[in-house]
Amino acid sequence: MTLLAIEQLNVWFDLDGGRQLHAVRGVDLSLDAGERVGLVGESGCGKSTTVLAVMGLLPPNASVSGRILLDGKDLLEQGERSMVPHRWRDVAMVFQGAMNALNPVRTVGDQIREPIELHGIATGERAQARVGELLELVGIPATAGARYPHEFSGGMRQRASIAMALACKPKVLLADEPTTALDVMVQAQILQLLMSLSDELGLTLLLVTHDLPVVAQTCGRAAVMYAGQIVESGPIDELFHDPRHPYTRLLFAATPDLVGTDEVVSIPGAPPPLDRPIQGCPFQPRCPAAFDRCLQEDPALRPVSAFHRAACHLNEVAAGMGRGVR
């Protein structure tokens, strides 16, 4: 059953000189209860902006349209105001870089207690006990709550920020590059923690990352973003073994494998500037398979199998010829 549905989400940022940057362009994404979904793409493709829009945490120069439905209720119905009661309580977020989420001059325990008291979940000793439970849930001794963030290692800080996000027992956890800046061993531990928490607590997880192997290890489904749009989405197996968008294929080719047998290629060029209209397919200037139609027409995200969708004209050409794109 769908728990979170993002429908036709658009985000614009007002820039100097009356210009606007169209950072998220008609994103549709839904998550079933208890599902783990990856949102993948290069820096600046709109992944983080999408999750910040879901949290209602965009800066004042942003404007948003579309619908964000949680259990069928539109969180954007009355603008950011309608998001406030749900933020942290129903939908919580783990931010990129734990130091961004933690206040350096307050103890970790105080910071985890704040949302518990703010949302009326518990006060006083009961709130303190909940802080201890949350720290232990993420593998930190309860007594460490009296320490300051600088007294924690990078991995412990990220665990503490996960504890803070879980403080109000949210249904949905948005994790924005939760393993960035951590060493490989700690990355693996944090991912394992997120997976076991989502299993144990029945959490629905949207994992934002540029790291395809991370998505493969943790998620059942993924969506690939490019230039503010979702260009491909589907079950992990299909996406990894039968990618149908040239950008997804190039992302795989740009990912080193563990044994180093495949040559790693870089994707030539850069994404289009999003402060001006885009003519045709946004990936066209970088696409090795582009043809005439790509210059004129932006491809829609269309089914290529029961649960797999891609936004590339080649799939229609191939479907017309009775075969898939390779």
Q: Closer to ligand SF4 by CB, 36 or 313: give it.
A: 313
Closer residue to ligand SF4, CB minimum distance, 132 or 285: 285
Token look-up 């191939």 returns: 318
Of 236 and 314, CB closest to ligand SF4: 314
Cβ of 316: how many Cβ atoms within 10 Å? 15
| Contact mark string toward ligand SF4, 150..169, x via CB under 6 A | --------------------
89 vs 245, which CB is nearer to ligand SF4? 245
Tell me, residue by residue from 279 to 308, as one string, x for binding to ligand SF4 by CB under 6 A and - for no binding. Answer: --x-xx--x-xx---x----x---------
Nearest-approach distance from CB 209 to ligand SF4, in angstroms: 22
Task: Determine if 101 is a binding residue for ligand SF4 (CB under 6 A).
Answer: no
Q: Provide, rounded to whole angstroms, the least separation between the CB of residue 83 and ligand SF4.
A: 34
**């990352």: which residue's tokens?**
209
Residue from 47, 86, 244, 313 in contact with ligand SF4 (CB under 6 A): 313
Alpha-carbon distance of 293 to 281, in angstroms, equals: 9
Q: Which residues of 229-260 are buried (b: 16+ CB within 10 A; e: fewer)?
A: bbbbbbbbebbbebbbbbbbbbbeeeeeeeee
Using the minimum distance from each CB to ligand SF4, give the nearer residue, 208 or 312. Answer: 312
In whole angstroms, the minimum distance from the beta carbon of 27 to ligand SF4 comes to 18
Give the single-character DSSP code of 121.
Answer: S
Q: First CA to last CA across the chain, in angstroms?
A: 33
Please, which residue, 158 or 248, has the CB nearer to ligand SF4? 248
On whether the CB atoms of residues 90 and 82 are closer than 8 A, the answer is no
Q: Given strand 62-70, what is the order of strands in its sheet?
A: 20-32, 2-14, 62-70, 73-74
Residue type (1 letter), 92: A
List, in sequence order, every residue forming a beta bridge with 224; answer none if it has no partner.
40, 232
To ligand SF4, the closest distance from the beta carbon of 281 in angstroms equals 3
Q: Which amino acid is at 164?
A: M
Q: What are the residues facing 234 on neighbouring strands? A: 222
Task: Tell which one of 46, 170, 246, 272 touches ligand SF4 (CB under 6 A).
Answer: 246
- Footprint of ligand SF4 (CB under 6 A): 245-246, 281, 283-284, 287, 289-290, 294, 299, 312-314
